[in-house]
Amino acid sequence: MRLTVGDSLLSGLVVRLTLVLAVVMGVVLWQIESTLGRTGDMAQDELLRRQAAEIVNSLKVDTNRNGTVRRIIVNLSPQSAAAYIERGQGYVYFIQDNEGRMLAQSDPMASVWVQPALSARPTVPTMLNTEARDGESSALYLLVQPVTMPSGPLYVIVGQYRTIDDMLLQSAKGGLMPGLLLVLLPLFVGALLAALGLVRGGLSPLRQVAKTMGQVGRQVRMGHEGKVSMEGVPREVRPVVVAFNEVLDDFAKSMAAQQALTADTAHQLKTPLAVMQARLEQLEDFKGRKELERDVLRMNRLVRQLLHYAVLSQHPATLAGHDLVDEVRDVVGGMVPLARQAGVDLRFAAPDGGVFVQMDPLQVAEAVGNIVDNAIRHSPKDGGKNDKKAIVEVEVTEDGHVHVRDRGPGVPVAEQAMVFTRFWQGPTNQSGESAHGGAGLGLAVVAEIMRQHNGSASVAARDGGGSVFTLEFSK
C-alpha cells in the first residue's frame, strides 16, 4: 500500500507512524479485553469448583441396609442456599447416581436446565455448557463433579448462568477500559510526538544535504566550480548526491560553452558594427539614413549588453562593504545630461548618513544605470496626459533599497514577472521592434547582478501611473 500526503516525506512518515501506533494500541486493547474474558472464565470455573466442593462437603447420604442410596440431603448454609432458590439468582445444582436417578436438585426445573450434562459420566471434574442449546447470552455453564461412594459413583452437577459472569465482566470492563484509555491516549500522543521528533531528527541530514545542494547550485550558476561533498552524507542519500554532482558537472560545462559562444559572437560582431557606424557617418544624407543609424545603434547596444552579460556569468561579483548612497549618487549625476536631452527631470534622494551594503561598485553602477536609463526612455517626452510630469525619482533608503520611480506607461501585472527575463521588450511597434528602443537585455543584466549580490530586483505599479523598480541589497 502506498501512502502519500501532498509532497511531504515527513507527513507521509507521520501518517505511517500514526497508523502503526493506532494498530498497536488496538492490539493492546484487544489483548486486554481478551485477558479480561479469559480471567472471567477462569474465575467462573473456579467459582463452580468451589460451589461443587461446598455441595459435596454438605451432603448427608441416607442409605438402605444394602448400601443403596435412599436419599441425599444437601445441608447448605442459609447464605449459600439462598443463591439456589431462583433461576434469576444464577445458580443451580442437580445430583444423580450412576444410573441417572435424581437424588437432589435445587429447583424442579433443574433437570431441564442441566439436561446436556445428565448423560455425562466423567471420572474427573468436567466443564460443560448449554451454548449450543441456549446461545451464548443465555447459556448455563456447568461443572460435573464425580463423587465416589461405597454404593457407586454420584455426580454433582453445578451450574451458573452467564448473566452473573457478564455482570462481573462488564463491571470490570466498565471500570477498567475508560481508565486504560485515559492512560493509553496520552501515551499514544506522547509516542507519536516522540516518533515525530525522531523522524525530524532523522531527516535533519537530508535537509542539510538539500541546503548544501542549493548553495552549490547557486555557486555553479554564478560561474564558480562546485560539488557537494560526500562527507557526512547518509549512505541512503549518497546516490542522490552523486547524481546531483553529475548534473552539476554537465550544467557547468553547458553554461561555460554557452557563455563562451555568447562572448565570442558579441566580440565578433562588435568590430563590423563599429565599421558600419563609421561608414554611415561619412555618407551623405539619403532616404532611410536615420532608421539605419538607429538600427546600428540598437545592434551596438545589444552587443555591448551581450558582452556584459557574458562577463557577468564568467566573472562573478566581488563583494565588499561600500556606501550605497555614494555609488548611486555618482550614477545619477552622470546620467543627468542624458535625462535633460530626453526632456526628463532626474531627481535623487537619500538619507543624510551612509547606507553600507555588501556590493561590487562597478556592477551596482551598471545595475542602477540600466534601471535609470530604462525609466528615462519610458518617460513621456511631452509631460504626458493629465498634467503628469516627466520626472524620474531615484531614492536610496536606510534598509539598503534603491527605488526608481517613473511616469511611463507602466508594466501590466501579468507581465511584471517577465520584465527581468532576457530579450523581454514590452510593447513593440508595427515592425516588431521595441517601442522604446530597448534590446531586452538591460533588465536581465540587472537581475543577474542582484542575484550575485544575494539581493533581488522587482517592479510594481506606481500610484497615479508609471512603475517603481526596486533593488534590494542585503546589508
Distance from C-alpha of 306 to C-alpha of 369, rounded to nearest angstrom: 16
Res 221: pLDDT? 64
Torsion of CA 447, 451, 453, 459, to 10 degrees: 40
Res 431: pLDDT? 46
Distance from C-alpha of 135 to C-alpha of 123, rounded to nearest angstrom: 27
Domain 9-167: give its CATH code: 3.30.450
Q: Which residues 6+ apart lie within 8 Å of 107 measured at CB?
A: 84, 86, 87, 92, 113
Res 472: pLDDT? 94
Res 63: pLDDT? 76
- Helix (H) / strand (E) containing 158: strand 154-161
Concatenate the DSSP letters of all residues of 96-162 into one string.
Answer: EETT--EEEESSTTHHHHTGGGTT---SS-EEEE-HHHH-TTT-EEEEEEEE--TT--EEEEEEEEH
Distance from C-alpha of 293 to C-alpha of 452, rounded to nearest angstrom: 35
Express each pLDDT in 301-339 by its tens digit: 667 766 666 666 666 778 899 999 999 999 999 999 989
Identify the residue whose cell numbers are 555591448: 304
Distance from C-alpha of 157 to C-alpha of 107, rounded to nearest angstrom: 13
What residues does each domain of the chain span?
9-167, 227-316, 318-472
Can you give the length of the chain in residues?
475
Amino acid making up residue 57: N
Domain 227-316: give its CATH code: 1.10.287.130
Amino acid making up residue 356: F
Other C-beta atoms lying within 10 Å of the C-beta of residue 441: 22
- 100-103: long-range pairs with CB below 8 Å, 24+: 103/69, 103/71, 103/72, 103/154
Res 307: pLDDT? 66
Distance from C-alpha of 435 to C-alpha of 453, rounded to nearest angstrom: 31
Distance from C-alpha of 345 to C-alpha of 33, rounded to nearest angstrom: 87
Distance from C-alpha of 161 to C-alpha of 138, rounded to nearest angstrom: 7
Q: How many CA atoms within 13 Å lie on the side-chain side of 355?
A: 22
Which parts of the chain sit beneath pLDDT 70? 1-10, 12, 36-37, 40, 67, 86-90, 162-177, 179-180, 202, 218-225, 255-270, 301-302, 305-315, 382-389, 422-440
Distance from C-alpha of 57 to C-alpha of 142, rounded to nearest angstrom: 18
Exposure pattern of 217-226 as b/e (b: 16+ CB <10 Å)?
Answer: bebbbbbeeb
Express each pLDDT in 221-267 by its tens digit: 655 667 777 777 777 778 888 888 888 787 777 766 666 666 666 65
Q: Which residues 6+ apart lie within 8 Å of 108 measured at CB?
A: none
Res 423: pLDDT? 61
In the 3-class helix/strand/coil scheme, how is 337-375 assigned residue by residue? HHHHHCCCEEEEECCCCCCEEEECHHHHHHHHHHHHHHH
Res 264: pLDDT? 64
Identify the residue whose cell numbers are 562588435: 270
Res 459: pLDDT? 92
Distance from C-alpha of 159 to C-alpha of 48, rounded to nearest angstrom: 7
Res 279: pLDDT? 76
For the chain, how many helices (H) and strands (E)? 10, 14
Res 267: pLDDT? 58
* DSSP type of residue 68: -
Identify the residue whose cell numbers are 501611473: 465
Other C-beta atoms lying within 10 Å of the C-beta of residue 473: 22
Predicted TM-score (pTM) of this structure: 0.44
Res 322: pLDDT? 93
- Helix (H) / strand (E) containing 311: helix 289-314
Other C-beta atoms lying within 10 Å of the C-beta of residue 345: 13
Res 372: pLDDT? 93
Identify the residue whose cell numbers are 444437601: 74
- Label residue 60 exposed, middle or buried (CB < 10 Å: 0-12, 13-18, 19+): exposed
Amino acid making up residue 310: A
Res 430: pLDDT? 43
Do residues 458 and 470 make contact, with C-beta atoms less than 8 angstroms apart? Answer: yes
Res 352: pLDDT? 87
Identify the residue whose cell numbers are 463433579: 145
Res 239: pLDDT? 84
Residue 70, φ and ψ in degrees, nearest 5: -90, -45
- What percentage of the chain carries pLDDT values higher than 70? 77
Res 464: pLDDT? 85
**Nearest C-alpha neighbor of 167 from the set 222, 88, 111:** 88
- 222-230: long-range pairs with CB below 8 Å, 24+: 222/313, 222/316, 222/451, 222/452, 223/255, 223/259, 223/313, 223/314, 223/315, 223/316, 224/316, 225/252, 226/252
Do residues 99 and 112 make contact, with C-beta atoms less than 8 angstroms apart? Answer: no
Greatest extent of the chain over all pairs of C-alpha atoms, in Å: 162
Distance from C-alpha of 153 to C-alpha of 176, rounded to nearest angstrom: 44
**Candidates 2.40.100.10, 3.40.140.10, 3.30.565.10, 3.30.450.40; correct CATH number of 318-472?**
3.30.565.10
Do residues 221 and 248 make contact, with C-beta atoms less than 8 angstroms apart? Answer: no
Give Rg (Cα) of the chain: 49
